[in-house]
Amino acid sequence: MAKRLIPLETRQIARVTGAGSVGRTDERFGIHATDLGIPWDGGDGRIYLLFGDTYGRGWGGDGGGPADADWRCNVLAFSRTRELGDGLDLEDVVARPDGAATQVIPSGSGREATVIPNAGIAVDGVQYVHYMSVREWGPPGRWRTNYAGIAVSRDGGRTWDKPRSARWPNRWWAESRFQIGAFTRDARHVYLYGTTNGRFDDAYLARVSPAGVADVSAYEYWTGDGWARGEKEAAPVFPGPVGELSVGYNVHFGLWLAMHLDEDRAAIVLRTAEHPEGPWTGGEVVVSGQDYPALYGGYLHPWAMDSDEIYFLLSQWGPYNVFLLRTRLSES
């Protein structure tokens, strides 16, 4: 088992989106309310940040909606902020003609409520986003997807394709284990951690060569003993309940970190492992819902993985916006 990291202190640094945010996203980009804020290193000197359902003028002031408040399923922003101690500045977005952030990953038709991003990664100048096509929302923490897929951008995030070769169908008789995902990589492979739709299942692991990220048939799945081609062979790498998930390598500790929502504990927890497939430690509470009611997300900032302090982005349903937090860690 890997060394256990203990969160010593967690502080909210600043609001990332909405009124009063460092980048004044409501005034500059029409982002009055949103969630997620999934960051990844775009390889071009910028952090890319994808947000979920986003609202502008007319937003109700609590939670998501209404749909006529300039609703966009997802928007993409950029940041060059390296000194995160004073907050994260969103300096630009993929914009429509009026300057407001536009939806980047297109919606489909038929039984699709929204298109929500889960993770992003850059490989050889190409941007890849794992997303889910949400069929319908259910009770809190539960929903049903049509499928999960990988969207591809070759022009710095301005336009995105959704190839059919890059989809995990979610059939009612055999729920896909990669409907929510988290990307990371080492020198040889891109890794995709996944779980079923909703926030209550275990976490699973797949890997692929960097050239095959957008080809589902190229993925191998961790079985507990080795790697196999079929998704049905995937075995849990750590137990649920696993909600939104973020994974990265911390060079200071020499450990892989996995951060995710634990619905049973109403908390964002942190796990560690020496290898991508584990064994993973049990989750240590980093942020409690007692301090941040209706919290979710918990996305590690990739430019803050070289010390004993990590920065991450947290969402809250009530204010329906995103916040930057910092946690100091210690080896147990």
**Percent of the chain whose pLDDT exceeds 90:** 94
Q: The domain that contains 73 carries what CATH number?
A: 2.115.10.20
Is the separation of the CB atoms in 181 and 118 below 8 Å?
yes
Closest alpha carbon to 272 in 260, 284, 288, 255: 255
- Phi, psi dihedral angles at 297 (to 5 degrees): 80, -135
Please, what is the average pLDDT of the chain? 96
pLDDT tens profile 98-145: 999 999 999 987 799 999 999 999 999 999 999 999 999 999 999 999
Scanning the structure block, which residue is given the tokens 């284990």?
177
- The whole domain housing 160 covers 5-331
pLDDT at 274: 97
pLDDT at 1: 67
Residue type, 217: S
CA pair distance 321, 54, nearest whole angstrom: 9
Q: How confident is the model at residue 173 (pLDDT cuts 50, 70, 90)?
A: confident
pLDDT at 93: 98
Q: How confident is the model at residue 253 (pLDDT cuts 50, 70, 90)?
A: very high
Instruction: Please give the tally of structural domains in the chain.
Output: 1
What's the helix, strand, coil split of the chain in %, to 5? 5, 45, 45
CA pair distance 273, 48, nearest whole angstrom: 26
**Percent of the chain whose pLDDT exceeds 70:** 100
Scanning the structure block, which residue is given the tokens 């914009």?
95
Q: pTM for this structure?
A: 0.97
Residue 172 has pLDDT above 90, yes or no: no
Average pLDDT of the segment spanning 263-289 = 97
Residue type, 267: A
Q: How confident is the model at residue 55 (pLDDT cuts 50, 70, 90)?
A: very high
Q: What is the DSSP letter of 48?
A: E
Is the link from the previous residue into 117 a cis peptide, with omega within 30 of 0?
A: no
pLDDT tens profile 36-46: 999 999 999 99
Scanning the structure block, which residue is given the tokens 């059939």?
171
CA distances from 96 to 72, 103, 114 (A): 12, 9, 19
